[in-house]
Chain A
Amino acid sequence: MTKRRKLVKWLVVLGALHGVVACAGFLSPYDPTEQDRERPYAPPVRLHFRDTQRRFHIRPFLYPLRVREGSFAQFDEDTARVTPVRFFVDGSSYRLLGLVPCRLHLFGAFPARICLLGTDGYGRDQLSRILYGGQVSLAAGLLGAGITLLFGLGIGTAAGYYGGWRDDVLMRLAELFMALPWLYLLLGLRAFLPLSVRPTQAFLLIVIVIGLVGWARPARLIRSVVLSFKERDFVRAARGFGASDGYILIRHILPETSSVLLTQAAILVPQYILAEMALSFLGLGVPEPLASWGNLLANLRQYSVLMSYWWMYLPAVAIVPFFIGYLGLASALQEWADPSKWA
Chain B
Amino acid sequence: MRFLLRRLAHAAFLLFAVSILTYLFASLAPGDYFDEMRLNPQIAPQTVVALRAQYRLDRPLPLRYVRWLDSVVHGDLGYSFSYNSSVAPLLLVRARNTLVLTLTAALLAWGLALPLGVRSAEHVGRLPDALVSWMTAGLLVVPDVVLALGLLLFAARSGWFPTGGLVSIDFDSLSLGRKLLDLVLHIMLPVSVLVLTALPVLVRHVRSAMAGVLEAPFLQTARGHGIPRRRLLYRYALPAAANPLISLFGFSVGTLLSGSLLVEVVMSWPGLGPLLVEAILSRDLYVVIGGVLLSTLFLVIGNLIADLLLYWADPRIRVE
Contacts and interface: CB of A to CB of B under 8 A. Distances in A.
Interface in B24-70: 25-26, 28-31
B163 interface: yes
A189 B25 CA distance: 7
Contacts of A282: 262, 265, 277
A301 B300 CA distance: 32
A293 B258 CA distance: 19
A320 B142 contact: yes
Given A184-B295, A190-B280, A323 B142 contact: yes
A97 B149 CA distance: 32
A110 B209 CA distance: 61
A179 B29 contact: no
B150 interface: yes
Contact of A183 (B141, B262, B285): B262
Contacts of B292: 180, 184-185, 187-188
A76 interface: no
A310 B153 contact: yes
Nearest 8 CB-CB pairs, A to B? A192-B29, A183-B258, A191-B280, A316-B146, A181-B257, A184-B295, A188-B292, A323-B141
A283 B29 contact: no
A249 interface: no
A195 B142 contact: no
A234 to B, nearest CB: 33
Given A175-B14, A306-B163, A316-B145, 12 more contacts: A180-B295, A181-B255, A183-B258, A184-B257, A187-B276, A187-B280, A277-B143, A300-B152, A306-B153, A307-B156, A313-B153, A320-B141
A179 B296 contact: yes
B146 A181 contact: no
B281 interface: yes
A56 B268 CA distance: 50
A297 B288 contact: no
B261 A183 contact: yes
A324 B146 CA distance: 14
Interface string B124-152: 00000000000001001111111001101
B252 to A, nearest CB: 11
A337 B298 CA distance: 36
B100 interface: no
Nearest to A270: B143
Contacts of B18: 176, 179-180
B149 A316 contact: yes
A182 B258 contact: yes
A192 B25 contact: yes
B17 interface: yes
Contact of B149 (A179, A184, A300, A327): A300
A250 B130 CA distance: 44
Contact of A191 (B17, B29, B143, B261): B29
Interface in B267-320: 276-277, 279-281, 283, 285, 288-289, 291-292, 295-296, 298-300
A284 interface: yes
Interface string A175-216: 110011111110111111111000000000000000000000
Nearest to B142: A320
Interface residues of A, number: 41
Interface of B: 14, 17-18, 21-22, 25-26, 28-31, 137, 140-146, 149-150, 152-153, 156-157, 163, 254-255, 257-259, 261-262, 265-266, 276-277, 279-281, 283, 285, 288-289, 291-292, 295-296, 298-300
B262 A278 contact: yes
A319 interface: yes
A99 interface: no
Contacts of B261: 181, 183-184, 187
Interface of A: 175-176, 179-185, 187-195, 270, 274, 277-278, 281-284, 297, 300-301, 303, 306-307, 310, 313, 316-317, 319-320, 323-324, 327
Tell me what chain B mostly uses at the interface: helix, strand, loop, or mixed. Answer: helix
Contact of A181 (B28, B283, B295): B295
Contacts of B31: 194
A284 B277 contact: yes
18 contacts: A179-B299, A179-B300, A180-B295, A181-B261, A182-B258, A184-B261, A184-B276, A184-B291, A192-B25, A195-B283, A284-B281, A300-B152, A301-B266, A306-B163, A316-B149, A317-B146, A320-B143, A327-B140
B145 A303 contact: no
B93 to A, nearest CB: 18
Contacts of A283: 277, 281
Contacts of A297: 145, 149
Q: Output the residue of B153, B285, B298 with the most chain A CB within 10 A.
A: B153
Contacts of A313: 149-150, 153
A195 B258 contact: no
A189 B26 CA distance: 8
Q: Which of B17, B143, B281, B289 has the most CB of A within 10 A?
A: B143
Nearest to B283: A195
Contacts of B14: 175-176, 179
A126 to B, nearest CB: 15
Contacts of A175: 14
Contact of A184 (B28, B142, B144, B258): B258
Contacts of A188: 22, 25, 288-289, 291-292
Given A175-B14, A192-B29, A306-B156, A278 B296 contact: no
A215 to B, nearest CB: 14
B26 to A, nearest CB: 6
Nearest to A320: B141
Contact of B145 (A189, A270, A277): A277
